[in-house]
Amino acid sequence: MPYQGEFAEYKSIRRLVENEKVKGLLGRAKERDTSQDSIPLSTLSYSDIEPSKWQPELVLAIDGSHQPVLVEKGFPGSEVGYVTVAAVLMDVAKIRELDKKRPVDPKAFRATENATSVDRAFPGCNIIIDDEQSSDASLRKALFETFNETRLFSDGETLLETYEALLGYKNQDDVKQNCPYGDNCLSVDSKYKINNGMYKCHCVKQGTLYSTDALRIHEGMVPDSTNGAMFAEIMQTIERVLVVHVLRWFERKNLLYLLTDIALVVDGPLALFGHPAGLLLPIIREIRRINEEAKKKTDGVSILLVGIEKTGFFVNHFERIDQNKNGTSGLFVPQTVALLSDEYIKKNIVFSDSMKPYGQETYFGRKFFYKTKSGARIVASLPMLDVAHEDQKRAEPDQYPRLADTLALFDQVASSRFPNALSPLISANAEAAIPMNLGSRVLEEMTKRLIKERKK
């Protein structure tokens, strides 16, 4: 590998081309027949599914970004993590009206979007807040405060109340974690006792505990290195809990009937990874409960919630199977959908011989591929709103709630500005994205200044 700033020359290429041993190996080589190992992808045309005439009125898109910033470089260093999660409400009905009157005044188009965001800083390695004794204790406190102080709706519950409603689905027997104080907990039984709000450890030290400790995110704190993975877990947890937060607001305001005209679009798969994955079953149960209540108000119409993947194994696989052998794309006909079974995923994308269905412990959605009318490749997942949706031995349209409406949505909001992208998520990402270079420098300078001022 070259050093940073060093560029390769052509000597090695000449040697490789002229080397007899290289030529000899290539002369003995042939492409392996993979037809026995993989299984074909079954596809459906949009017309094979009863086409939808549904047109959304509103689309709510949720996307986040995180950026670790070093306060002190070198060893052991110190770090602060910035997390921002944006929710953008797009008036798709208004956009359809404007499209009929092109050219459109940019101000009128911008008025079709309303955005709000959660913007917070979190302690990383070697950063403490207030009178806390450690970085992980500081992180736990900051996370609880974030949930307690965040609400998307002025007349709605806090994110903490939403989270604690989810926590209510967990039994004490479900908790497999130890007290956050670890060896410093003096209890004979050091297992973490779940509770709401802020409370005290049951040992004689009476250390402060938080309901958000059950997320276990603090367990990912690396004491002397960067904590990008931990900040990513915070971001994805806020994104997923916000989905439930929004749905619960509609329920509390007796507005569930409006969900027939609204789509919720989330960046990334419908899943929870890492330490917070224990929240998966509570999220599944709460979304299913709300969906059943919504169906009573909508003549049986389920909620439309979809996760969109922009990178990863599935995105790469979709790109490859859309390619001809010469590398040009176009094998997938526009408006073609492919529903993914467990067998297909394990033999073609994420190779595994596990007896467990793919994503059983992390996903609350089923994946599928769709090529829009305009040719955009979309990797998406729809929620498993019924036990029958969990049977991954098969992949049928009836296991994907509001599939036809979702495909119609993709055709309507596929972006003409960026390839394989949806306009609502582009807007949400524009609100949430932290510029990697200028943004990190600005945040670094602000962090150093504020921490320096506190020391005085």
Q: Which of 186-190, 274-278, 352-356 has the highest mean pLDDT?
A: 274-278
Tokens of 439: 């943004």
Q: What is the pLDDT of residues 234-247, one digit of tens each?
A: 999 999 999 999 99
The whole-number average pLDDT for the span 439-447 is 54
The whole-number average pLDDT for the span 134-155 is 93
- Backbone angle region of 308, left / alpha / beta, with phi > 0 → left and psi within -120 to 50 → alpha: beta
User: What's residue 380's pLDDT?
Assistant: 97
User: What's residue 128's pLDDT?
Assistant: 87
120 vs 118: CA distance, rounded Å: 7
Tokens of 230: 């931990």
Handedness of CA 113, 400, 161, 220 (dihedral sign): negative
- When the pLDDT of each residue in the chain is averaged and rounded to a whole number, the result is 86
447 vs 436: CA distance, rounded Å: 16
User: What's residue 437's pLDDT?
Assistant: 46
Residue 356 has pLDDT above 60, yes or no: yes
Measured CA to CA in angstroms, residue 304 lies from 2, 8, 272, 285, 391 at distances of 49, 51, 19, 16, 20
CB 428, CB 88: distance < 8 Å: yes
Q: For residue 384, tell me if it sits in a domain.
A: yes
Residue 444 has pLDDT above 90, yes or no: no
Element (H, E) at 84: strand 78-91
Q: What angle do CA 252, 258, 260 make, to 5 degrees?
A: 130
User: What's residue 335's pLDDT?
Assistant: 94
**Range of lowest pLDDT (124-138, 281-295, 393-407):** 124-138
417 vs 420: CA distance, rounded Å: 10
**Range of lowest pLDDT (104-118, 184-198, 220-234, 278-292):** 104-118
Alpha helices in 60-202 (DSSP H): 92-99, 106-110, 135-149, 159-167
Angle between helices 11-18 and 20-28 (to 10 degrees): 60
The residues that bridge with 63 in the sheet, in sequence order, are 86
- Per-residue 3-state assignment (H helix, E strand, C coil) for 339-401: ECCHHHHHHHHCCCCCCCCCCCCCECEEEEEEECCCCCEEEEEEECCCHHHHCCCCCCHHHCC
Q: For residue 437, tell me if it sits in a domain.
A: yes
Residue 185 has pLDDT above 80, yes or no: no
Q: For residue 306, what pLDDT band results from cuts at 50, 70 and 90?
A: very high
The whole-number average pLDDT for the span 139-149 is 95
The whole-number average pLDDT for the span 232-261 is 95
**pTM for this entry:** 0.88
How many angstroms from the chain centroid is the CA of residue 11? 45
Q: For residue 370, tell me if it sits in a domain.
A: yes
Q: For residue 208, tell me if it sits in a domain.
A: no
Q: What is the pLDDT of residues 403-440, one digit of tens each?
A: 999 999 999 999 878 889 898 888 888 887 765 444 45
Measured CA to CA in angstroms, residue 99 lies from 102, 108, 331, 412 at distances of 6, 11, 31, 12
151 vs 161: CA distance, rounded Å: 9
The whole-number average pLDDT for the span 188-202 is 86
CB 259, CB 218: distance < 8 Å: no
What are the two backbone dihedrals, phi and then psi, of residue 25, each rounded to the nearest 5 degrees? -65, -40
- Cα atoms in the 13 Å half-sphere on the side-chain side of 137: 13
Q: For residue 288, tell me if it sits in a domain.
A: yes
390 vs 372: CA distance, rounded Å: 26
- The label of the residue with tokens 């689309």 reads 59
Q: For residue 217, what pLDDT band results from cuts at 50, 70 and 90?
A: very high
102 vs 414: CA distance, rounded Å: 18
What are the two backbone dihedrals, phi and then psi, of residue 162, each rounded to the nearest 5 degrees? -65, -50
209: exposed, middle or buried (Cβ count in 10 Å: 0-12, 13-18, 19+): buried
Q: What is the pLDDT of residues 364-386, one digit of tens each?
A: 999 999 999 999 999 999 999 99
Domain extent, residue 354, equals 44-122+228-455
Q: For residue 35, tell me if it sits in a domain.
A: no
User: What's residue 104's pLDDT?
Assistant: 63
Percent of the chain with pLDDT over 90: 52
Q: Which long-range contacts (CB under 8 A, 24 or more apart) does 69-73 make?
A: 69/440, 69/443, 69/444, 69/447, 70/226, 70/444, 71/127, 71/444, 71/447, 71/448, 71/451, 72/126
Element (H, E) at 276: none
CB 259, CB 294: distance < 8 Å: yes
User: What's residue 389's pLDDT?
Assistant: 96
Number of domains in the chain: 1
Q: Which long-range contacts (CB under 8 A, 24 or more apart) does 229-234 make?
A: 229/274, 230/81, 230/124, 230/139, 231/66, 231/67, 231/68, 231/81, 231/82, 231/83, 231/122, 231/124, 232/66, 232/274, 233/273, 233/274, 233/275, 233/276, 234/66, 234/81, 234/83, 234/122, 234/143
Handedness of CA 361, 283, 135, 444 (dihedral sign): positive
The whole-number average pLDDT for the span 248-277 is 95
**Between 144 and 7, whose confidence is greater?**
144
Percent of the chain with pLDDT over 70: 87
The whole-number average pLDDT for the span 94-100 is 79
User: What's residue 6's pLDDT?
Assistant: 52
Question: What is the amino acid identity at position 360?
Answer: Q
DSSP for 131-152 reads T-SSHHHHHHHHHHHHHHH--S
Q: What is the pLDDT of residues 11-46, one digit of tens each?
A: 676 777 778 887 788 788 766 655 555 677 888 888
User: What's residue 129's pLDDT?
Assistant: 87
User: What's residue 438's pLDDT?
Assistant: 44
User: What's residue 311's pLDDT?
Assistant: 93
